[in-house]
Amino acid sequence: MMATLKNATGKTLVIVESPAKAKTIEKYLGKDYIVRASVGHVRDLPKSNKKAIDINAGFKPHYEISKGKHKVIAELESLANEAKEVILATDPDREGEAIAWHLSELLELKDPKRVVYQEITKEAVQEAFKHPRTIDQHMRQAQEARRVLDRLVGYDLSGLIWQKVRYGLSAGRVQSPALRILMEREREIRAFVPEDFWVLTADASTSANPEKFTLTCVENPKTQSKADEIVNLGKKHNWVVTNIKESETKRVPRAPFTTSTLQQTASTRLGYSPSNTMRIAQKLYEKGLITYMRTDSPTLSKQAQAQALAVIDSEFGKEFVQPRNFKSKSKSAQEAHEAIRPSNLGKKIAGATAEQQKLYKLIWARTVASQMTDAHVKRMKVLANITDSQEQIPDFAVRGSRVIFDGWLKADPTAKGEEVQVPAVSKGDALDVNNVEAEGKQTQPPNRYTEAGLIKELEKRGIGRPSTYASIMKTLNDRGYVSKEGKTLMPTDTGDVVSSFLEDHFNKYISDTFTAEMESELDEIAEGKREYVKTLTEFYTPFTKDIDSKANIPKVTNMGDTPEEFKCPECGSNMVYKLSKGGKFMSCSKFPECNGARKADGSIIEPPKEIGEECPKCGESGEKPNKKSPGKLVQREGRFGLFISCSNYPKCKYIKQDALLNSTGVECTECSNGEMIERHGRFGPFYSCSNYPDCKHIIKTRPTGNHCPMCGKLMMEGTKTIPERCSDKTCPNHNPHKS
C-alpha cells in the first residue's frame, strides 16, 4: 500500500467502475494520472426495509457500504488523500452519476470533478478530460428515486403476497407489468378456439425448366369435402400460368442500435439472452471497441457518420453512400446521447473472444448499413389455374423475390433472409402439375413472447429503460415466474398466480399507463423539472392506503376447480388446483379433512407411507419428546425424489432421506455415526451425512470410501487426470495439480 501511495502523491486520481476500463484509461492519460476502479456500486440500501428508507424525513435513504467493498473504499480513500485532485469518470448515465455521488460522499470529496465520455478511445477520453463538470444532482436524484420507489413497491407488495398467496414470492414495479403482459397473451392462447382449414398445394414445373416449385391455393377451404373437390379437379385437368404480377420495392436500412434493438437482434440472430448481450457489450465497451451500450438514442455523431461514409466509399463504392439521420422514438431519451456503434469503423477487431467478435460484427454491420442506399427488391407473384374445365377452382400462386441492387444489404447480408426462387415464366405458359394435395390444419393462437419480443413490447409501452430490460428478463426467470422453451417465454403456474393476484387487487399499479407515467416522472426529475420528495409522496401516500385496505382480503387457497373427470382418489369429492413450491397440483376440496391429491396431469399422489420408525426429534425417544402426538417417520416424494421426514411436518421439520435408495455405503468422517447419502438440490446432486441437520457434512461429488493420506478426510471422485481427490478444499490434496 505504501508504494502505491508514494506513486500517487501529486498525481490526479481518476475513479471509474471497471478494472479493465481503468487500465485502458490510465494508458491514455499518461504518467500524471493514476486510475482506479470502484468495481461497480459501492453503496446500496440495506436488506431490511425498516432501516432502508426514512419516509418521514422525506424518503431519505439510508445507505450502507456494499458487501466486500470496504477494502476498495479504504484504498480509494488513501489514494484520494495523497492525490492532487480527484476526478470521477464513471459511466455517462444515471447509474454512473449515482456511483460518482456515492464515491464523493464516502471519500468526503469537496466539489469533485466529473468527466463523461461515450467511447473509450484515446481521442474521446483526452477530449472529455478537457471539459470536466460537477456531479449532475438531478440525474443522481432520478436514480435514487427509482431505487427507493422500487424498494417501497417491492417490499410492500411482496409482503402482502407472502401473507395472501405463498411465502417467498415477490412483486416489483417493473417486473410485475412485464409478467402481466406475458399472462395477458397466455390467456388469449387459452381462450383461443381453433378452426379447421385445409392447405392445398401443387408441385409444378415448366417444359423449359424441369426444376419444381410449389403452388399454394390462395383460398383455404373450410371443409374437407370442398378441399377434396379442388384436389380432384386439379389432378384431372391441365394447368396454365394465368397471370404474373411484378413490383419493385425498396428496403430502407434500420437505424443504428439502441440498447433494446441490440438486445432484440442479438437474441434473434445470435441466440444471446439480453443479460448475456449486455455482458458482452460491456466488455467491448471497456476495450474501447464500441460506444456506451445503454442508450435510447439512434443518433450518430457527425464524426462517426463521416467515418462510416468513408468506409462505405472505400469498401463498397460511391454508389452505396447515402448519409442518413435518425431520431429517437422515445419521448425522453435519457441515457447516452449516441447510438451503440464501433469506436473506429475502420479498425479491425483484435483480442476478442468468439462471442465478442459476433456481437461486434453485428454492431458494425448495423452502423455501416444505416448510412447506405436503399436495397432494391423485385417481387413476383405467379398465378396458375386449370384449363379445359367448366368448373372453377381458386387460383394457386407462388411468391418470390430477388435483390436487384444490394444497397445496404451489402454490409448486412444476413438481413436478406431466405428468398423463394421462382423460374422465369410467362403468362399463358403450360405447367406440368402433379402431387396436388390437401393438408388439414387448424388456425393457431397468437405466439407467446420471446425475450426479444417482450423487450420490444416493453419499449413500445414505455415500461422500463435501457438499463432495466436485461434485469427484468433475469428477474422473471430467477423468481420462477417464467420458463424458457427454446426462445419462447412460458409463464409458470407461480407466475400465473402472482400476476392474477396483482391484477385482481393492484391492477392500477401494474398497468401500462401508470408504469409509463412513472417513468416519465423519473425522467422529469433527471431533467430538473420535478421534485424528488413530491414525486414519491404523491405515489406512496395512496399506495400505502391501498395496501392497508387489502389486509382483510381472503388468502388465495386455490387456483380454481379442476376438470370434472378428476375426483379425489380418497373420498371421491371434487378437486381444486393449488400451488406448492413445486408448482400446481390438485387437492381435495375437503382439505384438511381429506388429504387426497393428484399431480397437475391428474395422476395420483400417493399419501406419505409410514416406515415403522418414530421421529428422533419429536417422538417418545427423541430429544424433544412430544407425548401428546409423537411423530412417525414417513416416506414422501418431492421435487428431487424420495425422502423420509416427520409426519408432523411443518411443526417438525426433521428430514432423513431414504438411505436404502440413496446410500453410498461410506461412513461420515465428521460424526462417525452416519453415512454419506446422495441428495438432490436445485444445482444437482450432492452428498451429505444421513444425520442432517445434526451433522452438516457435505461434499460435491460421490465419495470413494478412501481417506486422504494427508488430512484423513473423505476422498471423492475426481477427473480423468485425477481419479480421486480430497473433499476438503483447504487440503493440498484437493487439487494436486495446483499443489
Whether the CB-CB separation of 717 and 701 falls below 8 Å is answered with yes
Beta bridge mates, 429: none
211 has a pLDDT exceeding 70: yes
> 3-state DSSP call for residue 33?
strand
R_g (Cα) of the chain, nearest Å: 33
Note the Cα 433 to chain centre separation in Å. Answer: 49
Rounded to two decimals, the pTM is 0.75
2 has a pLDDT exceeding 80: no
Per-residue pLDDT band for 335 (boundaries 50, 70, 90) equals: very low
Q: What are phi and psi of 55, to 5 degrees?
A: -65, -40
- Cell 498525481 maps to which residue? 11
Whether the CB-CB separation of 337 and 118 falls below 8 Å is answered with yes
Whether the CB-CB separation of 574 and 587 falls below 8 Å is answered with no
Q: What is the mean pLDDT of residues 271-279?
A: 92
Residue 381 corresponds to which cell in the numbers above? Answer: 407473384
**Using DSSP, how many helices (H) and how many strands (E) does the chain show?**
19, 30
Whether the CB-CB separation of 331 and 264 falls below 8 Å is answered with no
Whether the CB-CB separation of 450 and 487 falls below 8 Å is answered with yes
CA distance 234 to 629: 80
pLDDT at position 369 is 96
pLDDT at position 615 is 85
Q: What are phi and psi of 138, to 5 degrees?
A: -65, -45
Fold of the CATH domain 196-252+376-442? Topoisomerase I; domain 3 (2.70.20)
Q: How far is CA 296 from CA 38, 59, 330, 332, 424, in A?
A: 26, 29, 7, 8, 46
The residues, ordered by sequence, that sit 6+ positions from 344 with a Cβ below 8 Å of its Cβ are 121, 307
The residues, ordered by sequence, that sit 6+ positions from 246 with a Cβ below 8 Å of its Cβ are 378, 379, 380, 381
Q: Which amino acid is at 191?
A: A
Whether residue 732 is preceded by a cis peptide bond, meaning omega within 30 degrees of 0, is no
Query: 10 Å Cβ neighbour count for 477?
Result: 17
Phi-psi region of 441 (alpha: psi -120 to 50; beta: other; left: phi over 0): beta
Whether the CB-CB separation of 227 and 436 falls below 8 Å is answered with no
Catalytic residues: 292
Q: What is the pLDDT of residues 135-186, one digit of tens each?
A: 999 999 999 999 999 999 988 999 899 888 888 888 989 999 999 999 999 9
> 3-state DSSP call for residue 576?
strand
Q: Which amino acid is at 544?
A: T
Q: How far is CA 552 from CA 80, 509, 546, 547, 549, in A?
A: 55, 19, 12, 10, 7
Residue 495 corresponds to which cell in the numbers above? Answer: 407466475
pLDDT at position 7 is 58
Per-residue pLDDT band for 722 (boundaries 50, 70, 90) equals: confident
Which of the listed ranges 241-245, 388-392, 432-436 does the model predict with the highest average pLDDT? 241-245
Look over the chain and give the mean of its residue pLDDT values, rounded to a whole number.
87
585 has a pLDDT exceeding 60: yes
CATH class label, 2-135 = alpha beta
Could you state, in order of their start, the residue ranges of all structural domains in the chain?
2-135, 145-191+447-549, 196-252+376-442, 259-373, 558-607, 617-734
Q: Which CATH superfamily is domain 145-191+447-549 in?
A: Topoisomerase I, domain 2 (1.10.460.10)
Residue 156 corresponds to which cell in the numbers above? Answer: 410492500
**137-164 helix and 512-526 helix, angle to the nearest 10 degrees:** 150
CA distance 494 to 482: 8
329 has a pLDDT exceeding 70: no
Whether the CB-CB separation of 377 and 407 falls below 8 Å is answered with no
Q: What is the mean pLDDT of residues 553-581?
A: 88
- Cell 470413494 maps to which residue? 704
Q: What is the mean pLDDT of residues 252-269?
A: 93
Whether the CB-CB separation of 110 and 149 falls below 8 Å is answered with no
- Cell 508504494 maps to which residue? 3
Q: What is the mean pLDDT of residues 343-364?
A: 90
Residue 492 corresponds to which cell in the numbers above? Answer: 409458470
CA distance 487 to 268: 9
pLDDT at position 102 is 96
E strand or H helix at 251: strand 239-251
pLDDT at position 661 is 57
Per-residue pLDDT band for 486 (boundaries 50, 70, 90) equals: confident
Q: What are phi and psi of 642, to 5 degrees?
A: -75, 145
Per-residue pLDDT band for 419 (boundaries 50, 70, 90) equals: low
Of 345, 346, 356, 368, nearest in space to 282 by CA:
356
Whether the CB-CB separation of 649 and 595 falls below 8 Å is answered with no
Q: What are phi and psi of 236, to 5 degrees?
A: -85, -30
702 has a pLDDT exceeding 50: yes
Per-residue pLDDT band for 625 (boundaries 50, 70, 90) equals: very low
**302-315 helix and 354-369 helix, angle to the nearest 10 degrees:** 90
Sheet containing 724-726: order of strands: 703-707, 714-717, 724-726
Of 399, 405, 407, nearest in space to 379 by CA:
399
Per-residue pLDDT band for 221 (boundaries 50, 70, 90) equals: very high
CA distance 472 to 177: 10
Whether the CB-CB separation of 111 and 133 falls below 8 Å is answered with no
Per-residue pLDDT band for 640 (boundaries 50, 70, 90) equals: low
* Range in 221-235, 444-458, 560-574, 712-726 with the lowest mean pLDDT: 712-726
Secondary structure (DSSP) of 598-622:
EETTS-B-PPPEEEEEE-TTTSTTS
Secondary structure (DSSP) of 672-708:
SSSEEEEEEETTEEEEEETTTTT---EESS-EEEEE-
> 3-state DSSP call for residue 263?
helix
Per-residue pLDDT band for 330 (boundaries 50, 70, 90) equals: low
Phi-psi region of 351 (alpha: psi -120 to 50; beta: other; left: phi over 0): left
Dihedral sign from CA coordinates of 320, 324, 330, 336 = positive
CA distance 398 to 379: 11
Whether the CB-CB separation of 199 and 438 falls below 8 Å is answered with yes
Per-residue pLDDT band for 455 (boundaries 50, 70, 90) equals: very high
The residues, ordered by sequence, that sit 6+ positions from 384 with a Cβ below 8 Å of its Cβ are 202, 204, 215, 239, 240, 241, 242, 395, 396, 397, 431, 433
Q: What is the pLDDT of residues 108-132, one digit of tens each?
A: 998 899 999 988 888 899 999 999 9
548 has a pLDDT exceeding 70: yes
Beta bridge mates, 638: 641
CA distance 37 to 32: 17
Which of the listed ranges 141-155, 316-330, 413-427 does the model predict with the highest average pLDDT? 141-155
Q: What is the pLDDT of residues 285-312, one digit of tens each?
A: 988 899 999 888 899 988 899 999 999 9
Fold of the CATH domain 259-373? Topoisomerase I; domain 4 (1.10.290)
> 3-state DSSP call for residue 587?
strand
Q: What is the mean pLDDT of residues 692-718?
A: 86
Q: What is the pLDDT of residues 41-60, one digit of tens each?
A: 999 998 876 779 999 999 99
The gap between the terminal CA atoms of the chain, to the nearest Å, is 29
Whether the CB-CB separation of 312 and 371 falls below 8 Å is answered with yes
DSSP state of 474: H
> 3-state DSSP call for residue 488?
strand
